[in-house]
Amino acid sequence: MYFLCSKPGTQTKKNDYLEKSRKFRESLDLEIELASPTAILLSSEYLVNPNNIAPVKDFFDQDEVRILVYLRRHDTWWESLYNQTAKTVMSPRWGSGFDAFVRFRKNELPGYGNFRRLLERWSAVFGQRNLIVRPYEWHQNKPDIVVDLLHAIGADMGVDTVKIPLISAIRSVRRNESLPRHALRLIEIFQKAKIPQDIRARLIHHARSLPVTEPRQSILSPARRLQLIEENAADYEYIAREYLGRDDGRLFYDPLPDPNEPWEAPQRLAPQQIVEETVKALTDSRQDAKA
* pLDDT at 37 > cutoff 50: yes
Neighbours of 151 (CB within 10 A): 13
CB 187 within 8 A of CB 86: yes
Choose one of 31, 65, 99: the last residue of a domain. Answer: 65
Note whether residue 116 is domain-resident: yes
Neighbours of 262 (CB within 10 A): 8
151 & 91 share domain: yes
Of residues 255, 248, 234, 247, the one with CA closest to residue 117: 234
**Could you check whether the bond before residue 143 is cis, i.e. omega within 30 degrees of 0?**
yes
191 & 288 share domain: yes
Q: Is the dihedral of CA 99, 102, 105, 108 positive or negative?
A: negative
Give the pLDDT mean for 17-29: 89
The domain in which residue 208 lies consists of: 179-215+268-291
pLDDT of residue 179: 81
pLDDT of residue 212: 78
pLDDT of residue 9: 45
Reduced to 3 states (helix: H, G, I; strand: E, B; else coil), residue 201 is helix
pLDDT of residue 150: 87
128 & 198 share domain: no
* Whole-number Å distance between alpha carbons of 175 and 208: 13
State the total domains in the chain. 3
* pLDDT at 2 > cutoff 90: no
Reduced to 3 states (helix: H, G, I; strand: E, B; else coil), residue 70 is strand
Give the pLDDT mean for 48-67: 89
Predicted TM-score of the model (pTM): 0.83
CB 190 within 8 A of CB 204: yes
Note whether residue 191 is domain-resident: yes
Q: Any residues with CB less than 8 A from the CB of 68 and at least 6 apart, and which?
A: 41, 132, 134, 149, 152, 153
Choose one of 65, 88, 109: the last residue of a domain. Answer: 65
Note whether residue 190 is domain-resident: yes
14 & 95 share domain: no
Note whether residue 261 is domain-resident: no
157 & 54 share domain: no
45 & 3 share domain: yes
* pLDDT at 93 > cutoff 70: yes
Note whether residue 144 is domain-resident: yes
* pLDDT at 258 > cutoff 80: yes
* Whole-number Å distance between alpha carbons of 186 and 207: 7
138 & 161 share domain: yes
Residue 71's DSSP bridge partners are 135
139 & 194 share domain: no
Note whether residue 106 is domain-resident: yes
Structure confidence by residue, pLDDT tens digits, 115-168? 999 999 999 999 999 999 999 999 999 888 888 888 898 886 655 544 555 555
Note whether residue 29 is domain-resident: yes
54 & 146 share domain: no
Residues for the chain: how many in total? 291
Q: Across all residues in the chain, what is the average pLDDT?
A: 85
Note whether residue 15 is domain-resident: yes
* Whole-number Å distance between alpha carbons of 123 and 121: 5
Cα-flanking dihedrals φ and ψ of residue 157, to 5°? -60, 120
Structure confidence by residue, pLDDT tens digits, 211-232? 877 777 899 999 999 999 999 9
pLDDT range class, residue 8, cuts 50, 70, 90: very low
Helices 181-192 and 74-88 meet at what angle, rounded to 10?
50
Of residues 106, 110, 278, 108, the one with CA closest to residue 202: 278
The helix (run of H) or strand (run of E) holding residue 145 is helix 145-152
Residue 69's DSSP bridge partners are 133
More reliable by pLDDT, 289 or 57: 57
Choose one of 151, 176, 201: the last residue of a domain. Answer: 176
